[in-house]
């Protein structure tokens, strides 16, 4: 079943075309990697899906509902959650409180906190492996811990689709391995994932499919090994102009 569908999506900023004519969909239970060089439009696409930006034209459907013009908080209530390229914790609130906020507001308004909320939040911190930092102000966590917190907070909103923006960028091989385990655990909870992965250190190992962007255009789509052999993708990443000339 199709969970997320993008229909000829366009976004321009002051005559600069950030995304043009993107058609794409994510099926339920799928992990899709979003790859492409700097400035390809990956984060812009996230911001469109989450409602931070409005597309210049085109539609976004989630579970068959048109969410193109909805506000970020409503889109979250419907079941799309995200992490940020540079994580955005609530720095002076405790790590546990950060996750509680996601849990309490993720599905709309609830007036009173109940004790189970706290338990759920602690479980999520255990899943991402920072439960021992529950009482530490989030601003004092290390970069890797803040990314985990971002993930726990996003999961706390009980999403059906989770968008991860550069979740493993700059990670050591050990941390990448942990991130892969974490993503597989998230998938087992019945969450579909769309992962921005500029450095390709994650999506080649976990993704079912890749979507490759360059200069705001879709250049390839399909299973990871196919996409990585695609000429346009290699050219976008490595710049194979020289080889092109030889071919011609």
Partner 1 sequence: MIYFAAKNRINGSKTCGVGLILGFLLLLTLPLLVHSNNYILQVFTHALLLASLALAWNLLGVSGSISLGHAAFFGVGAYGSALINLEFGLSTWLTIFLAGLIATGLGLIMGLICLRLRGAYFALATLAFVEIPKVITDNWDALTKGSLGLVGISGLPTLRMGDWHVDFGAGIADSYYFVFVYFVILLGLVAFVSRSNMGLALQAIREEEIAAEAVGIHVNRYRLLSLLMSAFFTGVCGACYAHLVRYIEPGLVYGLHFSAVPMIFAICGGRFTILGPAVAALILYPVDQFIFHPLLPAGHEFLYGAVLILTVLFIPYGFWGRLRNA
Please choose, out of 8-16, 36-44, 59-67, 80-88, the segment that lies near partner 1 by the rule CB under 8 A: 80-88
Check binding of 132 to partner 1 (CB under 8 A): no
CB of 28 to partner 1, least distance (A): 21
Q: Which of 2, 8, 39, 88 binds partner 1 (CB under 8 A)?
A: 88
CB of 167 to partner 1, least distance (A): 15
Check binding of 106 to partner 1 (CB under 8 A): yes
Check binding of 137 to partner 1 (CB under 8 A): yes
Decide if 101 contacts 94 (C-beta within 8 A): no
* Of 31 and 138, CB closest to partner 1: 138
Check binding of 107 to partner 1 (CB under 8 A): yes
Distance separating alpha carbons of residues 189 and 206, to the nearest angstrom: 15
CB of 225 to partner 1, least distance (A): 33
CB burial of residue 13 (10 Å; 0-12, 13-18, 19+): exposed
Q: Give the distance from CA 104 to its chain's centroid.
A: 21
Neighbours of 221 (CB within 10 A): 17
* CA distances for 125 relative to 82, 130, 178, 214, 227, angstroms: 17, 5, 15, 36, 35
Q: How many positions of this chain bind partner 1 (CB under 8 A)?
A: 36
Q: Which of 3, 156, 176, 182 binds partner 1 (CB under 8 A)?
A: 156
CB of 169 to partner 1, least distance (A): 18
Binding mask 199-228 for partner 1 (x = CB under 8 A): ------------------------------
187 three-class SS: helix
Q: Which of 146, 157, 192, 203 binds partner 1 (CB under 8 A)?
A: 157
Exposed e or buried b for every residue in 31-70, given b needs 16+ CB within 10 A? bbbbbbbeebbbbbbbbbbbbebebeebebbbbeeebbeb
Please choose, out of 4-12, 57-65, 88-96, 197-205, the segment that lies near partner 1 by the rule CB under 8 A: 88-96
Which residues form the interface with partner 1 (CB under 8 A)?
Answer: 50, 52, 71-73, 76-77, 81-82, 84, 88-93, 97, 100-102, 104-113, 137, 140, 153-154, 156-157
């Amino acid at each position: 079943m199709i969970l997320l569908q993008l229909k000829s999506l366009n976004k321009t900023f002051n005559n600069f075309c950030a995304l043009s004519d993107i058609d794409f969909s994510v099926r339920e239970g799928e992990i899709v990697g979003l790859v492409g060089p700097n400035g390809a439009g990956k984060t812009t696409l996230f911001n469109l899906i989450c409602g931070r930006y409005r597309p210049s034209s085109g539609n976004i459907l989630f579970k068959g509902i048109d969410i193109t013009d909805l506000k970020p908080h409503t889109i979250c209530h419907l079941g799309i959650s995200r992490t940020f390229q540079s994580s955005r914790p609530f720095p002076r609130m405790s790590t546990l409180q950060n996750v509680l906020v996601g849990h309490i507001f993720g599905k709309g308004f609830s007036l009173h906190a109940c004790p189970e909320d706290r338990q759920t939040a602690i479980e999520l911190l255990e899943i991402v492996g920072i439960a021992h930092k529950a009482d530490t102000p989030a601003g004092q966590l290390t970069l890797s811990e803040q990314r985990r917190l971002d993930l726990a907070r996003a999961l706390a909103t009980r999403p059906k689709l989770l968008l991860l923006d550069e979740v493993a960028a700059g990670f050591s091989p050990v941390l990448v391995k942990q991130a892969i385990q974490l993503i597989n655990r998230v998938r087992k909870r019945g969450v579909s994932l769309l992962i921005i992965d500029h450095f390709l250190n994650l999506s080649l190992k976990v993704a079912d499919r890749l979507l490759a962007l360059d200069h705001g255009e879709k250049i390839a789509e399909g299973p990871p090994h196919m996409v990585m052999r695609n000429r346009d993708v290699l050219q976008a990443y490595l710049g194979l102009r020289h080889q092109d000339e030889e071919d011609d």
